[in-house]
Homo-oligomer: A and B are copies of this chain.
Amino acid sequence: MKRLAVALPLLISAAAFADEGMWTFNNFPSDKVKAKYGFSPTPEWLDHVRLSSVRIAGGCSASVVSPDGLVMTNHHCSHECIEQLSTKKKDFIKDGFFAKATKDEVKCPDMEINQLVEISDVTKRVQDATKSTPVEKFNDVQKAELAAIEKECANGDDTLRCDVVTLYRGGRFDLYKYKRYQDVRLVFAPELAIAFFGGDPDNFNFPRYDLDVSFVRIYGKDGNPAKFDHYLKWSATGAKDGDLSFVSGNPGGTSRLLTQAQLEYDRDVKLPTALYRLSEWRGFLNQFARRSPEAERTSKKDLFYIENSLKAYKGRHAALADQKFFASRIAAEKDFRAKVEKDAKLKKDFGGAWDGIAGAMDKLRTYRKEYELERGPQAETFTWARQLVRWADESGKPNGERLKEYGESRLPQLKQGLFAKAPIYDEYETAKLAFSLDKLREELGADHPVVKKVYGNKSPLQLATELVKGTKLKDDKFRRELFEGGKAKIDASKDPLLVFARSFDPEARAARKRIEDEVDGAVKKNGELLAKAYFAVFGQGTYPDATFTLRLSYGKLAGWKEGDREIPALTNFAGAYDRHTGAEPFALPKTWLDAKTKVAAETPFDMVTTNDIIGGNSGSPVVNKEGEVIGLVFDGNLPSLGGDYGFDETSNRCVAVHSSALVEALDKVYGAKRIVEELKSGSAASGPKAGGK
């Protein structure tokens, strides 16, 4: 893997010339794009692309690709839905899924889609609210203000979702208003074997041959497909090497503005500990899956996510372990700090911010283990139990004082998760809970008072077995009853998992409160100071760290050089057949082997672009200057894994499925002509005029 060896471009003037940046739609540098690529997106173009882009609340991006609410995203973004719809008898992960007609489309138990309809600036209101707030109250006061703004915005309307987004680590606060869709149905998914051809070994690699796509459809409250004025048309020809490309999606998060103390925490504590846990869980799952085909089926989704995270986190850690890169970050901070300290006013107002954050990181190192109580065991049934236990208490509090995730504006999402008709498999749920309980004891130590109180004389496996066996929370109707019965009903329940979650809730809340007050408060307060200092020194012509909100990046189709090796920008179908060995994960599914003579071997398959993206961008459309779909983002290359901390245009690449591969496969491999027609007719139908000037 190549490493980032350049100074953080964001902080040096050369940034103007790189395809760097996950730009907000309301601060998009059309002039930069014009200067480099001769095309300047108009406000109408930006509005059209924004309104055609949607977000999957669970953590992905997507786009509307027909007026009838057809949505394109990755297979791995629908993996959970596909698995939840599968049964012991019918495994759609293995065999794929295709609804031959609209009536065959099946509701995903737990998928919510959001469409960003409005952005407004609430910076002054938020910053004024905390103006004279001491650091240890900062988090609470800010949280209350945000909750108030969000509540006013949604105003009790369940079809809206309102989030105040913290940009530039507190330098700006924007209110994002979304339309919320909770009836989303599965239309098409290929077999995992081709969606994820090459498996973990090829993940983040390129050249690549993955058809990582799925289609879902948004339905309205009336039970019919929802209508959309804005949707992306399909490019008739697709793109070729060198073509301009835009990616519109929701990058999950970046850390390009972190201070040295925060980077050291990531490098030395956060990433290693996350990687130990993920690695162990990966080994566990690999063997768990070998118990039986059913064990494999029910745990496969988690294994996929775990391996994906592992590789991504390893890349991030490697970026920070790179001495040159780390030194460049320290140098950039030193330079920034020197500029602030040179100016008496800036120094007085902002000079203490770095030490304030460093102090918070010291505390985090100390408080981290106890926070495992708040993180809690990672198992669906426990999550539900805790949500119910907490809802009993939070529902009685004023909106501003609630834990954030129980605020008025968050309730629709909370309820969707809690009421989801998601199947629970006892064997796997028990294994998962036991593993988590074992790790919890490991972090806290066998002599920790909570461990003694909660585990008693039981081993983690004994406890998990009892809890999963005894709980009725696996039944969605029971969960709904409890939730709707409110505090009285929940408090009265003796369900063993509720009893368990209740038994250490005060300690979990205390561990969280301590970090929110002493760590988060300091990071937020001082982050705001740093942002103001940054604007004062460098101006506002830059992009904020990613926040899983809609961003637009620009770039072009381009390969890169890996040592002496030239990596091309595109692969084709022939390459996929060449890479087929017959052994997983390099075994093409039967449909593909059967279709070998039917597909055009030279059809482009996957492609790489210079767009600056990161996890969360999965499922983003790649569009050309006409705003037409030319690809579907599903990955980054290995060098891009350090992209959390910095962008290097020479080697960071976005990996996408080429638009031609999608229609060729839908048509020739799967005979999914109705989707192909819908994509193409969408292109023919009238929609708001796209295109720039």
Show the binding face of A for B, using Cβ within 8 Å: 198, 200-202, 205, 264, 267-269, 272, 275-277, 279-288, 290-291, 310, 314, 317, 320-321, 323, 431, 435, 441-442, 445-447, 456-459, 462, 581-586
Measured CB to CB, the closest approach of chain B to A32, in angstroms, equals 35
Chain B residues near A291 (CB-CB < 8 A): 290-291
Q: Assuming A269-B321, A441-B201, A445-B201, is B581 touching A276 (CB within 8 A)?
A: no
Partner pick for A279 among B201, B264, B280, B320, CB 8 A cutoff: B280
Are B442 and A264 interface neighbours, CB within 8 A? no
Chain B residues near A445 (CB-CB < 8 A): 201, 205
Are B584 and A459 interface neighbours, CB within 8 A? yes
Measured CB to CB, the closest approach of chain B to A142, in angstroms, equals 29
A374 to B281, CA, bound (A): 27
Partner pick for A286 among B264, B284, B582, CB 8 A cutoff: B284
Partner pick for A201 among B276, B317, B446, CB 8 A cutoff: B446
Measured CB to CB, the closest approach of chain B to A245, in angstroms, equals 26
Give 22 A-B contacts (CB < 8 Å), ordered by A residue: A198-B446, A200-B442, A201-B441, A202-B446, A275-B276, A276-B314, A279-B280, A280-B280, A280-B282, A280-B283, A282-B283, A283-B284, A283-B286, A283-B435, A284-B284, A284-B286, A285-B287, A286-B287, A287-B288, A287-B290, A457-B582, A457-B583
Chain B residues near A585 (CB-CB < 8 A): 459
Q: Assuming A268-B321, A272-B317, A445-B201, is B284 touching A462 (CB within 8 A)?
A: no
A585 to B279, CA, bound (A): 23
Are A459 and B583 interface neighbours, CB within 8 A? yes
Which B residue sits closest to A271, measured CB to CB? B272
Chain B residues near A323 (CB-CB < 8 A): 264
Partner pick for A462 among B286, B317, B442, B583, CB 8 A cutoff: B583
Are A583 and B458 interface neighbours, CB within 8 A? yes
Chain B residues near A280 (CB-CB < 8 A): 279-280, 282-283
Which B residue sits closest to A565, measured CB to CB? B447
Measured CB to CB, the closest approach of chain B to A372, in angstroms, equals 14
What number of copies of this chain does the assembly contain? Answer: 2
Chain B residues near A285 (CB-CB < 8 A): 283, 287
Are B275 and A272 interface neighbours, CB within 8 A? yes
A568 to B504, CA, bound (A): 29
A459 to B581, CA, bound (A): 9
Q: Assuming A276-B276, A280-B282, A317-B272, is B205 touching A457 (CB within 8 A)?
A: no
Closest 4 CB pairs of A and B: A283-B283, A287-B287, A283-B284, A268-B321
Measured CB to CB, the closest approach of chain B to A306, in angstroms, equals 10
Which B residue sits closest to A583, measured CB to CB? B459
**New contact pairs (15) apart from A281-B283, A282-B283, A457-B583, CB-CB < 8 Å:** A205-B445, A205-B446, A272-B275, A272-B321, A275-B275, A275-B279, A276-B276, A277-B279, A280-B280, A280-B283, A283-B286, A283-B287, A287-B288, A457-B586, A458-B583
Measured CB to CB, the closest approach of chain B to A577, in angstroms, equals 14
Partner pick for A287 among B205, B284, B456, B584, CB 8 A cutoff: B284
A122 to B284, CA, bound (A): 50
A582 to B455, CA, bound (A): 13
A275 to B275, CA, bound (A): 9
Measured CB to CB, the closest approach of chain B to A30, in angstroms, equals 40
Chain B residues near A290 (CB-CB < 8 A): 287, 291
Measured CB to CB, the closest approach of chain B to A436, in angstroms, equals 12
Q: Which of A201, A281, A314, A445 has the most CB of B within 10 A?
A: A201
Which B residue sits closest to A456, measured CB to CB? B581
Measured CB to CB, the closest approach of chain B to A630, in angstroms, equals 27
Chain B residues near A286 (CB-CB < 8 A): 283-284, 287
Chain B residues near A277 (CB-CB < 8 A): 279
Measured CB to CB, the closest approach of chain B to A527, in angstroms, equals 21
Which B residue sits closest to A317, measured CB to CB? B272
A585 to B455, CA, bound (A): 13
Chain B residues near A435 (CB-CB < 8 A): 283
Chain B residues near A431 (CB-CB < 8 A): 287
A280 to B456, CA, bound (A): 28
Measured CB to CB, the closest approach of chain B to A592, in angstroms, equals 17
Which B residue sits closest to A201, measured CB to CB? B446
A11 to B198, CA, bound (A): 52
A268 to B324, CA, bound (A): 13
A198 to B442, CA, bound (A): 12
Chain B residues near A586 (CB-CB < 8 A): 446, 457
Are A279 and B283 interface neighbours, CB within 8 A? yes
A582 to B310, CA, bound (A): 36
Chain B residues near A447 (CB-CB < 8 A): 205
A282 to B442, CA, bound (A): 14
A241 to B435, CA, bound (A): 39
Measured CB to CB, the closest approach of chain B to A576, in angstroms, equals 14
Chain B residues near A276 (CB-CB < 8 A): 275-276, 279, 310, 314
A17 to B280, CA, bound (A): 42
A577 to B200, CA, bound (A): 48
Q: Which of A264, A272, A314 has the most CB of B within 10 A?
A: A272
Chain B residues near A441 (CB-CB < 8 A): 201
Chain B residues near A446 (CB-CB < 8 A): 198, 201-202, 205, 586
Are A442 and B281 interface neighbours, CB within 8 A? no
Which B residue sits closest to A434, measured CB to CB? B286
Chain B residues near A269 (CB-CB < 8 A): 321
Which B residue sits closest to A582, measured CB to CB? B457
Measured CB to CB, the closest approach of chain B to A434, in angstroms, equals 10
Which B residue sits closest to A323, measured CB to CB? B264
A517 to B676, CA, bound (A): 60
Chain B residues near A205 (CB-CB < 8 A): 445-447
Which B residue sits closest to A272, measured CB to CB? B272
Chain B residues near A268 (CB-CB < 8 A): 267, 320-321
Q: Which of A198, A286, A288, A317 has the most CB of B within 10 A?
A: A286
Which B residue sits closest to A324, measured CB to CB? B362
Measured CB to CB, the closest approach of chain B to A303, in angstroms, equals 11
Which B residue sits closest to A447, measured CB to CB? B205
Chain B residues near A288 (CB-CB < 8 A): 287
A280 to B285, CA, bound (A): 10
Chain B residues near A442 (CB-CB < 8 A): 200-201
A586 to B455, CA, bound (A): 12
Measured CB to CB, the closest approach of chain B to A417, in angstroms, equals 27
